[in-house]
Amino acid sequence: MNSGKANAREVPRSTASATAVFVLACAALVLAGCGGGGGGGGGGGAFPIIAPTAIAPPASSGDDDAILASSTVAGLCAAPRGGINPETGLAYPDKSGTLTDEKRWVRGWIDETYLWYGEVPTTLKAADYATPVAYFSVLKSPLVTASGRAKDRFHYVYDTERYRQLSQNGVAPGYGMEFAFVRNSRPRDLRIAFTEPGSPAAAAGISRGAKVLEVDGVDVIDGTNTAVINRGISPTTIGESHTFKLQEGGATRTVTLAAASVTRTPVQNVKTIDTGSGRVGYLLFNDHITTSEAQLIDAINQLKAGGGIQDLVLDMRYNGGGQLNIASRLATMVSSSGATSGKTFERLVFNDKNPFRLTAAQSIIPFYGTSRNGAPLPGLGLSQVTVLVGPDTCSASESVVNGLRGIDVKVNLVGGATCGKPYGFFPQDNCGTSYFAIQFQGVNAKGFGDYGDGFAPDCSVADDFDHALGDPAEARLAAALAMRSGGACPASSSAKTQPGLEKSGAADEQPYLLHRTPLREIRLLEPAPAPG
């Protein structure tokens, strides 16, 4: 859904900092991921901060493929960073080393912390891969899910500083418009899903539903030069300029946009809709980032004002995930303190080595009842909620659904099947690259977490680009409101009779335009304890 181009779906935040964005250069290798988790006031200090092991000389070994303890080669870098890490305020821990040291660290880290470390092929040779990133990209499970999709679609790397900016503040280079593929194989159908307030796209009057016909003169519908198209829809630097030919209604126009530092507004379109059977709240929630907490609290207070609401439609169709503590607090605010107090939102299941030395209590993410600042959270007190979902609903967003179902809150899903990522990681920086390898599976209070192929909707409805998000006539919202009144999914809304949103990288087609940055689909926890 996004203006990124990597066909990867995941990246939790790193506790140190990373540098080069190898992911874009290695898009063909990259791996999908989704996440959600902590970041700062993760709520109650569920995870102890364990001081990292001091860097020691690597164990003597003539075998480059020998698996060493990651702590013995951590921070030994071919190109050590100097200066201060803005994440910690301390000097970077890098020391002079080699690419071999970095590859040894990657192999040791995978063996210690990867959820499926026993499934990693043992025949892989570090010397066959030019960089630690290339080596990391193959150090994962080769197994598949019941549907035939890769079991691990979420293996990923990213630049830590860029990730820090996005995960904490929602700041990234872009135009402030989200691209959605109604069809990503020729003849392609590329639309604008929504725009960010105050962004270059919003200033240009671009809105939901606009169809992209050309990028920098290249035909999007039938063109073969996807490299140009990808560069245009995925700017990487501030000021980078690209030209788009758009079809809006019956008219076409060409517009040139310069990428800016766009700050995302994760919560939008908060409103109350009066229906014949009561007042229904609606809010669009796009990112589980740090800034979303205050916006969610404001939204819930707004919906409570003036007599409150009887139901809520939570629109997370484009929410790829993020911080689990945000997901937990959102679930708490949807429900009530009576239903959530003392209950488990999500329990983390690690590999049999218990790599982070967590006790049973420390592996539990509760339903947080207070904000990061310790203020009590407002609550809607609902026993059911309708969530608008689709293939871009991932990870921490799926945790909201699974966590509420774990305490018997009825969650109705309208839209399309979700992405299927019950997994997450503690991102780890080494030598300027943050590595994201699946390290835990999240299960709810009932012990359920097996949704690797996603949650199926209760009512299948195609994404409707002819109406604004939050418009009661928009197909998915209209179906949710109709179900509230009549209890049945409108037959005319079935995705079987309408073209649905296809997700790049779907099992039944090759990705042509790689449109979503992995940073937008994550289940994230921080800080990362040192592996034991």
pLDDT tens string, the chain, 532 residues long: the values are 433 332 222 223 232 222 222 222 222 222 222 333 333 233 332 322 222 333 334 444 457 789 999 999 999 999 999 999 888 899 999 999 999 999 999 999 999 999 999 999 999 999 999 999 999 999 999 999 999 999 998 898 887 777 766 656 656 789 999 988 888 889 999 999 999 999 999 999 999 999 999 999 999 999 999 999 989 998 988 999 999 999 998 899 999 999 999 888 999 999 999 998 889 999 999 999 889 999 999 999 999 997 889 999 999 999 988 889 999 999 999 999 899 999 999 999 999 999 999 999 999 999 999 999 999 999 999 999 999 999 889 999 999 999 999 999 999 999 999 999 999 888 888 998 889 999 999 999 999 999 999 999 999 999 999 999 999 999 999 999 998 877 788 865 444 333 333 333 333 332 223 344 555 555 555 544 556 5
Contact 121, 140 (CB under 8 A): no
Is the same domain home to 198 and 149? Answer: no
Is the same domain home to 184 and 218? Answer: yes
In terms of residues, how long is the chain?
532
* Cα Rg of the chain, angstroms: 22
Asked if residue 504 belongs to a domain, the reply is no
pLDDT at 64: 76
Is the same domain home to 280 and 221? Answer: no
Q: How far apart are CA 406 and CA 304, in angstroms?
A: 24
- Report long-range pairs for 97-103 (Cβ below 8 Å, ≥24 apart): 97/73, 97/431, 99/131, 99/132, 100/64, 100/126, 101/58, 101/73, 101/76, 101/77, 102/73, 102/76, 102/77, 102/78, 102/132, 102/430, 102/431, 103/64, 103/129, 103/132, 103/135
Is the same domain home to 157 and 144? Answer: yes
pLDDT at 61: 47
pLDDT tens digit sequence for 288-346: 988 999 999 999 999 999 788 999 999 999 998 888 999 999 999 999 989 999 999 99
**How many domains does the structure of the chain reveal?**
3
CATH number at residue 301: 3.90.226.10
One-letter amino acid for residue 50 of the chain: I
Is the same domain home to 249 and 273? Answer: no
Q: DSSP character for 165?
A: H
Could you tell me the pTM of the whole model? 0.80
Is the same domain home to 314 and 378? Answer: yes
CB-based contacts of 94, cutoff 8 Å, min separation 6: 75, 77, 80, 81, 82, 431, 432
Q: How far apart are CA 79 and CA 112, in angstroms?
A: 25
Sheet holding 428-430, edge to edge: 156-158, 433-436, 428-430
394-to-210, 365, 389 alpha-carbon distances in Å: 25, 18, 9
Asked if residue 373 belongs to a domain, the reply is yes
CB-based contacts of 279, cutoff 8 Å, min separation 6: 272, 273, 307, 308, 309, 310
User: Which two tokens mark 65?
Assistant: 């493929």
Contact 6, 516 (CB under 8 A): yes
End-of-domain residue from the set 263, 298, 325:
263
Q: DSSP character for 164?
A: H
Is residue 339 left, alpha or beta, with left meaning phi > 0 and alpha meaning psi from -120 to 50?
alpha
Asked if residue 134 belongs to a domain, the reply is yes
Asked if residue 8 belongs to a domain, the reply is no
pLDDT at 521: 55
Domain boundaries, position 234: 174-263
441, β-bridge pairs: 349, 423
Residue 246 sits at φ, ψ, to 5 deg, of -120, 145
